[in-house]
């Protein structure tokens, strides 16, 4: 039995991969780690595939200086700007997604955090969504406090999204207007309010493989089971517009290493997936078992119909996982 097979068997038997072991796995040939990661996925998650869709509920004029983001007020990206969408629009889009087989609908807003007034307004919309559809609702409203998260839970939110984006070491290179500790406290506040949490990062922000592993280890320590793995889409006008795009092979390697580190998670291909030549197919054979379908926040994505066809071809079945 080679080393990768040994690590795979250890994970299946309940052991946790250490950082040192993850670094070894990350250096192994793809033809060894990808099938092994997929076996781990099958063992813990079966063929369940957690597919969700997002709506850009508030766009632009963000006070934060995240270097990858088209919505930051620090950069000139010529995007459309608008305030919080009305209830009718949010409900209409929720129905659209539910009718096409999407099981979770996430409302994402720009800004460091929504105000109390905005939280109250969006809670009304969430109640209307839950009354009109059976779709699960996820909220990505920034660095909220525990009391605000409690309001969201009472309104019908089951999951909160808050990406860590990268490792603690690399985060100050990406954003300086809020801290890593603020993000972690937000995640803990959401969990104290009784909400599940979705948190991952963006690959291709100048990080090392060690940074990626450190991110996965932090996510594991926080007990998070829904992990978006975004690939940077370099947007003109942002400081990262000339960053080199990651390859399909690099993304497969990242996904496989994450599967070894967080074996029971929904590892979710998210932003940037449409840039991959196979739209994520190889990653879905390397340990990934979730995706965001449809358009992203300020970039186009892959249609729900295309995704459901791909899942069917791969033998997956759409299901809420780690809910």
- Residue 1 pLDDT: 60
Q: Tell me: the pLDDT tens digits for 228-282?
A: 999 999 989 999 999 999 999 999 999 999 999 999 999 999 988 989 999 999 9
- Residue 322 pLDDT: 61
Read off the pLDDT band of 296 (50, 70, 90).
Answer: very low
- Residue 300 pLDDT: 53
Work out the angle between the directed axes of helices 248-261 and 3-12 (0-180°, nearest 10). 50
What is the token pair recorded at 50?
């957690």
Residue 36 in contact with residue 8, Cβ under 8 Å? yes
Q: What is the residue-averaged pLDDT of the chain?
A: 92
**Largest Cα–Cα distance in the chain?**
59
What is the token pair recorded at 136?
């699960």
pTM of the model: 0.94
Read off the pLDDT band of 301 (50, 70, 90).
Answer: low
Q: What are phi and psi of 12, to 5 degrees?
A: -60, -30
Tell me which long-range contacts 2-10 makes (C-beta under 8 A, separation of at least 24): 2/32, 3/28, 4/28, 4/32, 4/33, 4/36, 5/32, 5/36, 7/36, 7/260, 8/36, 8/37, 8/39, 8/40, 8/260
Indicate whether 295 pLDDT > 90.
no
Mean pLDDT to the nearest integer, 37-59: 92
Indicate whether 178 pLDDT > 70.
yes
Read off the pLDDT band of 60 (50, 70, 90).
Answer: low
Work out the angle between the directed axes of helices 180-192 and 146-155 (0-180°, nearest 10). 50
Read off the pLDDT band of 308 (50, 70, 90).
Answer: confident
Read off the pLDDT band of 151 (50, 70, 90).
Answer: very high
Indicate whether 78 pLDDT > 80.
no
Q: Tell me: the pLDDT tens digits for 184-198?
A: 999 999 999 999 999
Residue recorded with tokens 């592993």? 213
Mean pLDDT to the nearest integer, 169-195: 97
Nearest to 66 by CA among 55, 74, 78: 74
Of residues 322 and 26, which shows the higher confidence score? 26
What is the token pair recorded at 263?
């074996």
Read off the pLDDT band of 323 (50, 70, 90).
Answer: low
Q: Is 17-318 CATH 3.40.640.10? A: no
The pairing of beta strand 266-269 with beta strand 226-231: parallel
Indicate whether 101 pLDDT > 80.
yes
């Amino acid at each position: 039995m080679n080393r990768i097979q040994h690590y795979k068997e250890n994970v299946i038997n309940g052991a946790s991969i250490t950082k040192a072991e993850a670094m070894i796995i990350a250096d192994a040939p793809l033809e060894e780690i990808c099938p092994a990661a997929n076996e781990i996925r099958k063992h813990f998650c079966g063929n369940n595939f957690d597919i969700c869709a997002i709506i850009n509920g508030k766009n632009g004029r963000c006070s934060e200086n995240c270097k990858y983001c088209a919505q930051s007020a620090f950069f000139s990206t010529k995007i459309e700007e608008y305030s919080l969408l009305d209830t009718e629009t949010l409900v209409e889009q929720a129905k659209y997604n539910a009718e096409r087989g999407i099981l979770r609908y996430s409302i994402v807003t720009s800004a460091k955090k929504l105000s109390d007034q905005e939280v109250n307004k969006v809670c009304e919309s969430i109640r209307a969504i839950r009354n009109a559809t059976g779709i699960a609702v996820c909220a990505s409203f920034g660095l909220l406090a525990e009391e605000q998260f409690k309001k969201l839970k009472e309104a019908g939110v089951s999951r909160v999204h808050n990406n860590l984006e990268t490792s603690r070491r690399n985060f100050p290179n990406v954003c300086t207007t809020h801290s890593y500790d603020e993000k972690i406290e937000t995640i803990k506040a959401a969990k104290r309010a009784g909400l599940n949490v979705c948190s991952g990062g963006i690959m291709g922000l100048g990080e090392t493989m060690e940074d990626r592993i450190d991110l996965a280890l932090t996510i594991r320590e926080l007990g998070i089971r829904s992990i978006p793995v975004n690939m940077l889409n370099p947007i003109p006008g942002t400081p990262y517009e000339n960053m080199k795009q990651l390859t399909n092979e690099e993304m497969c390697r990242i996904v496989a290493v994450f599967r070894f580190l967080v074996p029971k998670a929904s590892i979710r291909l998210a932003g940037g997936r449409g840039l991959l030549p196979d739209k994520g197919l190889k990653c879905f054979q390397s340990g990934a078992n979730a995706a965001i379908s449809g358009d992203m926040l300020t970039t186009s994505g892959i249609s729900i119909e295309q995704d459901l066809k791909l899942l069917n071809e791969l033998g997956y079945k759409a299901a809420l996982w780690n809910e």
